[in-house]
Structure 1
């Protein structure tokens, strides 16, 4: 299992770094060309637009076809979107690239997460494998922005887009030798259910709501750090380093999670992370220097980085094995729907009242909702599987 898990993590890093690099570089190029904060919000929203509509079909596609076919399709789409920005680096082509990179990343992530969940044999292993798997986005959230910022400062935007467009092919190189797992079938005689039936379970609804809130915090940080950095005259490298510090902190906490997963309750980790996020968002508007923003970014990375493994573990415990792809698709649709709407709202609110009030408003909502996390309990135990 360790070899397969390492390949899946490397594959995830490769395809996701393409998207995160574009998500940093494209808004920065738009700002330098004189586009407004609202336009940047539109551009960022497009990274999540396609996954909103494709998440559920992608989940079902993964349930039917497994791992390799979805990843191969995702790699092709992401690379073509990146090469379009190399050929025509205009705002509207950047919007197209944002859409294709977002769609490809979403499809690949669902297929990879579904496969990883099926490698686990009990609840403790679920927390551990998803803790390791969560290291992947943390690394790519560091690698993508830092690599893009470095190439932009030394060679320009087109070279940065070219480097990012080549990254997804590494994902296919890593995953092509991974063995497919047998398809999970629905219990005999079970009627076909709508994906929305999963939301009839109260704890599943609660989990989706909390995941949406914490994902919105991630979007706030990703959107407002380039805007704040630009307003304060920071270089592309400095802005990338601030975002990279967040990613490194998230990576560090996730590296520790597999060893302490057996001693943690998922609901306690999520509640503590929500309280810490609310506190840090209250302080963020008072940070003006790059080092101060980087410090808060690192602390926020520790808080938000601990959440995803716990949420993914609970999601797999709450849903039947043959519907894991659907559940992951429903989660992806919810958080990507938020990522479409929230940057538009953040851009409008930031232009109207200032970015400080956006931080305070989002942090206040998350802080008030943190007690809800304590009530989460897995409703369905994961099935025990015999080891090969």
Structure 2
């Protein structure tokens, strides 16, 4: 079933903002490397995309519960536009640190608003389908941002890429201001807003298991976008080639999400998540042996199939398991955990890459993903028994 017009506008806002984020991330990595920044410095910059989102996601979710999505999404898109325009107009390493904070925090607000609202306005029967539409939008933007960044950087200065992505962020603001988001109904009212603390949700075993598996698969996604530019630059690839490899990854996430309604008829959510963990662990295990663009594109596509299948199923599980009236807070916790990984993993693996080499980074991630397999396997057996 095709999404309603307000839901389509919500997806378009998220898609446009995500193009700005995805493009700015790869542009920042390559721009910093062009100024001879170390792997650790690149790790710090990528971590800053997620530092303030890590701290602010739960309060943002509670705020959205109280005042709705319009004003927070406007503020988020303005912050993203400012973050993209700063390095576009000023340039140099120092401004990148502020820019990454603005871009990452602005997108976090839009992400929490979009994910919470899709779940809140959907019936249980339509929730997975509507999340698949949102995920398809993110797949399109995840492909468009890196490829566009690579093409611009190959033929124009880095500041031109930042200015282009600033225009995408401004486009998200325009869609919020003049779109149909005000017609969305079914969100939490102020009287229904959650009480208690986030730790109450973390005490629930089912919620913890969803958060752990989601954290591992989200980390597999985010670490790939951090490590691939470094691996590609060391291998002598052009920026456009690196962008195409990332584009193959995103195209695979799009294809698996397009096929998700068919997959869901044969496999339940935990079966999909368990398969995703197996494929992701395999990809990270073989990445050190991939030295040619074609082989990297193939493995990147397999990883895209794995992590692309995870998000719609994980979000559907999250809304199904979360206590009544606290789904928005649960989404905020998920975003907080995901962004915490985006802060600490680039720092940890950036330092490991500088000291031990990228092979240690790839195999370290393989071990982390493998640690989540017992949880997913037990949940798969329990879901079959039910």
TM bin (shorter chain): over 0.9
The within-5 A match list for 1:171-250 is 171-175=172-176, 176-178=179-181, 179-185=183-189, 192-250=195-253
| Residue 197 of structure 1: how far off its partner (Å) | 0.6
Query: Structure 1: 5+ residue runs without aligned partners?
Result: 380-388
1:285 is matched with which residue: 274, 283, 288?
Answer: 288
Aligned to 2:255: 252
Q: Does 1:275 align with 2:278?
A: yes
Q: What's the counterpart of residue 347 of structure 2?
A: 344
Inter-partner Cα distance in structure 2 for 1:217 and 1:22: 19
SS at 1:167's partner residue? helix
Residue 322 (structure 1) shift: 2.3
- Structure 1 counterpart SS, 2:143: helix
Check 1:195–1:37 CA distance in 2 against 1; reply closer, same or farther (3 A cut): same
Q: Is the 8 A contact 1:66 1:180 kept in 2?
A: no
* Number of the residue aligned with 1:68: 70
Q: Distance in 2 between matches of 1:331 and 1:231?
A: 33
Q: Distance between the aligned counterparts of 1:325 and 1:119, measured in 2?
A: 12
Alpha-carbon distance between aligned partners in 1 of 2:205 and 2:36, rounded to the nearest angstrom? 46
Deviating beyond 4 angstroms after TM superposition, the runs of 4 or more aligned structure 1 residues are 185-188
Stretch of structure 1 that moved more, 137-146 or 165-174: 165-174
Number of the residue aligned with 1:42: 44
**Deviation of 1:361 (Å):** 1.7
TM-score (norm 2): 0.93
State the distance in 1 between where 2:324 and 2:102 align. Answer: 29
Give RMSD over aligned pairs.
Answer: 1.9
Partner of 1:384: none
Per-residue deviation, 1:352: 1.3
Q: How big is the shift at 1:5?
A: 2.6
Deviation (angstroms), 1:191: 9.0
The whole-number CA distance in structure 2 between the counterparts of 1:5 and 1:183 is: 12
Q: Give the aligned length.
A: 376
Residue aligning to 1:104: 106
Cα distance, 1:363 vs structure 2: 0.9
TM-score under structure 1 normalisation?
0.93
Cα separation, partners in 2 of 1:191 and 1:374, compared to 1, 3 Å: same
Where does structure 2 lack aligned partners over 5 or more consecutive residues? none
Deviation string, structure 1 residues 74-118 (Cα, Å, up to 9, x no partner): 111100111111111111211111111100111001001111112
Moved more, 134-143 or 225-234: 134-143
Whether the aligned pair in 2 keeps the contact of 1:350 and 1:358 (CA below 8 Å) is: yes
Contact 1:250 1:304 in 2 (8 A): yes
